[in-house]
Structure 1
Amino acid sequence: MEQHDAVANLDRMRAIAAYDLFDPGLAGELRSICRRTADRLGLPLAAVQVVLDGATAVLATNDENDLLTTMGGAPREHSLCVNVVQDRAPYVVEDLADHPEHADNPGLLLGLIRAYAGVPLVLPGGEILGTHCVMSPQPRPFGHADLAELRTAADEILRLIVRH
């Protein structure tokens, strides 16, 4: 039996297309939230990413000059955010090097990402837009308080996106 692909779901894609996600004003507001999240969690990278059927697109990060922003996103097969959309739940990896399914992730191989935590951005219709996530080049545990901070910021992010 073939597994349902929540990421490529046509209804989800239509829901995402209804929003002006690349509005420059929105990016600035999202960047402020990412900066706050990165500061509060003491991590070098916080991001808002929309997960599309074949790739992720970066809507904002805490540092507009970081590699993730420069690249604009990542192919689906290298994105950790895809797991959030597929499972409709937070996805946490304290050390990518300990997980064989992430062994060939370019971020890990280049020494850019060892730890990841992401929470879903749930649109008013229930579709998962993407993630608010944090990453670290060092292994790092994520506790309940970390996920609560991400969820609080995700709620604020959704209010901004719906408003735009």
Structure 2
Amino acid sequence: MTPPSPTEATSSDNASNDGTDQHGETIAHSAERTPIDPLAATNAAYPDPALVAIFEGLRSTVAGGQSNAWSALNDSARLRAVFDTGLLEPGPHPEVEQIVGLTINAVGIPNAALNMITDVEQINVGIASRSGHIGAQRTHPLPDSLCVYTVVSGSPLIIDDIADHPVLKNHSAAQSGVVGAYIGIPIIDDAGHPVGTLCAWDDQPHHWSSGEIQIMTDLADVVQNVIFDQ
């Protein structure tokens, strides 16, 4: 499948289907998605204690403990869905790599990637960077992953300034200065299993507009079509 052009993927900040919370902050949503958890990440200070509990539970899980987050990651049907994508096989994967490359141009952000999440690690299957420095390391342990939080919640994770995030401000990606702002959209199969994320990030804080969120959501839908409908 040929991915849409940036103009086809772009939507206005004033689009009628954009949602806002009581503070006027944008909420990412998609009528086509079937997340495994109804919790949605917003640009606000994550007031929902259940969402914070998921994040905190996952932090203990990747450190060796047990939690509901571990159950979600280790679900056998989800893991089978991850392997069935075929993206864990050695690349290249030109169709998804093309979409990742399109993402940095369509959103106007320095970095983007498509990552698969197993029960033990994050596996990068496509990455693009305006700097051209993408590095050779394509696997990362879960404690170093931000995308794992998107997969566990089954919902978009949107962070304008990670230094102000109540849970992730101490994450290694934040402490190292690699990530200042992040957006991750879950890639979900037809049975509702989140297998990975299409994500983008900047090393500086960045306010994600409703238009940028919609572009990311649209491109994640294209990725899903490429992976699961081929």
- For Structure 1 versus Structure 2, the TM-score category normalised by the shorter chain is 0.7 to 0.9
> Are 2:6 and 1:6 aligned?
no
Aligned residue number for residue 59 of structure 2: none
Map Cα deviations across residues 46-72 of structure 1 (whole Å, 9 max, x no partner): 1100011121100101247413xx221
Greater share of helix: 1
Q: TM-score, normalised by structure 1?
A: 0.87
Q: TM-score, normalised by structure 2?
A: 0.64
Q: How many residues align?
A: 160
Between Structure 1 and Structure 2, whose CA radius of gyration is higher?
Answer: 2
Instruction: Report 1:50-61 matches (<5 A).
Output: 50-61=116-127
> Are 2:88 and 1:24 aligned?
no
> Identity of paired residues, percent?
24
Match 1:91 to one of 153, 157, 172:
157
Aligned residue number for residue 46 of structure 1: 112
Map Cα deviations across residues 89-111 of structure 1 (whole Å, 9 max, x no partner): 00011111112532333322222
Q: Give, as a single letter, the amino acid of the residue that structure 2 aligns with 1:44.
A: P
Flag structure 1 segments of 5+ consecutive residues without an equivalent: none
The two structures, once aligned, show a CA RMSD in angstroms of 1.9
Verify the 8 A CA contact 1:32 1:62 in the aligned structure 2. no
Verify the 8 A CA contact 1:47 1:134 in the aligned structure 2. yes
Q: Give, as a single letter, the amino acid of the residue that structure 1 aligns with 2:220.
A: A
Query: Where in structure 1 do 4 or more consecutive aligned residues deviate above 4 Å?
Result: none
CA distance in 2, matches of 1:3, 1:24: 33
CA distance in 1, matches of 2:94, 2:227: 12
Flag structure 2 segments of 5+ consecutive residues without an equivalent: 1-66
Aligned residue number for residue 139 of structure 1: 205
